[in-house]
Structure 1
Amino acid sequence: MTHMFRTAGLLRSGYDIDQVDEFFTHARKAYEGEVPEQMTGRDVRLGAFDMVRGGYRAEAVDGALDRLERAFVTRQRAEFVATHGQQAWLEHLASQARTLYGRLARPDGERFAPAPRHEQGYEPDDVDALCQRLIDYFDNGQPLTSDEVRHAHFRRAKGRDAYGEPAVDAFCDRAIEVLLGVE
């Protein structure tokens, strides 16, 4: 049997082969216009698979997902620019970027609500460091890529000493969308 990706081996866990194959088959059909429903870069980014013994190696699938997301965003940008023009695309991106500014303007340690009591969350110093990189990108033109945001690592913290994960994850998703739109 031919697989789309290398497997993790029989004794190691990886992404469920059937789920991954189904996702990539559907994504290819959506990209080529063979299915009626639209698929976006965000849909690709939010794709998730069960971990199973003997599944696909996660790093190989994750790399392919990153490339697939970029392809969908590139196509979306080209279609938008063809219909509305380059200036409208830049205004669209600026509007998306403005949604990030509210959090970026807050002081370190106060950008996101704390994690619920006794629950795991993200170390605020790590998240704030990424926010500072975004500020430097927007305000000073410092380099930053969507991959750097996508692969940012936040140490774990607990309860009131942590930022709640859902708001941070949603913020990072929006930052990735904005960065992909200009890359």
Structure 2
Amino acid sequence: MSDGMFRTVTGLRRGYDPDEVDEFFAHARSLYEQGPPTGLSSAQVRGVAFDMVRGGYVTAAVDAALDRLEAAFVARHRAQFIAEQGQDAWMAHLGAQARTLYGRLGRPDGDRFAPPQGREPGYEPADVDALCHRLIAYFDTGAPLTAAELRSATFRRRTGRNGYAEGPVDAFVARAVEVLLGVE
């Protein structure tokens, strides 16, 4: 165990750098409690990265805490937005965000995202398309889907032109997470 915020890995295993993690969470807590509402966005929480070091923090525990922190910042933003502009305006805002996803969702399977450049790895299109079908069902019929399910989605690797480039897929899933968090 560590004296820090999270459990540490055992032996020679690698985990997130405890100093970086502790510093980020201390900063995030300060901004959440005392800072301006725009001091840290959910996207910034989602995009944070830590170095891997021997004896570092268990990554799954830190990642779960980051998910909770992101949800807290979204809930705070939602509450502030609704207090200032009303529930209808919030729903219109979410609708506008959701519409940014529709272009990709309307494309045929295997053609939703560009392939990776050169020899860069990509994602298996069938896996990504299956997640897109779940999003379509969520938006069209209210089928159950949570932000946590989107966050935990994994895609098999696919190399070459038959895959989907990772960057655009990751950005798309991040936007979908943001929309679902806004509703949850």
When normalised by structure 2's length, the TM-score is: 0.96
Cα RMSD over matched residues? 1.3
Give 1:105's aligned amino acid: G
Structure 2: tracts of 5 or more residues without a match: none
- Structure 1 residues 40-72: Cα deviation after superposition (integer angstroms, max 9, x where no partner): 111111111111110000011011111111111
SS at match of 2:154: coil
In structure 2, what residue type is equivalent to 1:85?
Answer: G
Residue 73 of structure 1 is matched in structure 2 by: 74
Conserved? CA contact 2:14–2:52, under 8 Å: yes
Matched residue, 1:9: 10
Q: What is the aligned partner in structure 1 of residue 138 from structure 2?
A: 137
Q: Secondary structure at the match of 2:158?
A: strand
Deviation at 1:118, TM superposition (A): 2.0
Contact 2:9/2:58 (8 A) holds in 1:
yes
Q: Which runs of 4+ in 1 moved over 2 A?
A: 34-37
The one-character-per-residue Cα deviations of 1:106-138 (angstroms, maximum 9, x if unpaired) are: 000000001113221000000000000000000
Counterpart code for 2:106: A
Identity of aligned residues (%): 63
Deviation string, structure 1 residues 119-178 (Cα, Å, up to 9, x no partner): 210000000000000000000110000011111010000010110011001100100000
Between 1:111-120 and 1:19-28, the stretch displaced more is 111-120
Gaps of at least 5 residues in structure 1 are none
2:37, 2:77 within 8 Å by CA — same for their partners in 1?
A: no
Aligned to 1:160: 161
For 1:18-37, what aligned pairs fall within 5 Å after superposition?
A: 18-34=19-35
The aligned residue for residue 183 of structure 2 is 182
Q: Is the 8 A contact 2:116 2:166 kept in 1?
A: yes
CA distance in 1, matches of 2:4, 2:119: 42
Question: Are 1:117 and 1:158, in contact at CA under 8 Å, matched by a contact in 2?
Answer: no
CA distance in 2, matches of 1:140, 1:73: 24
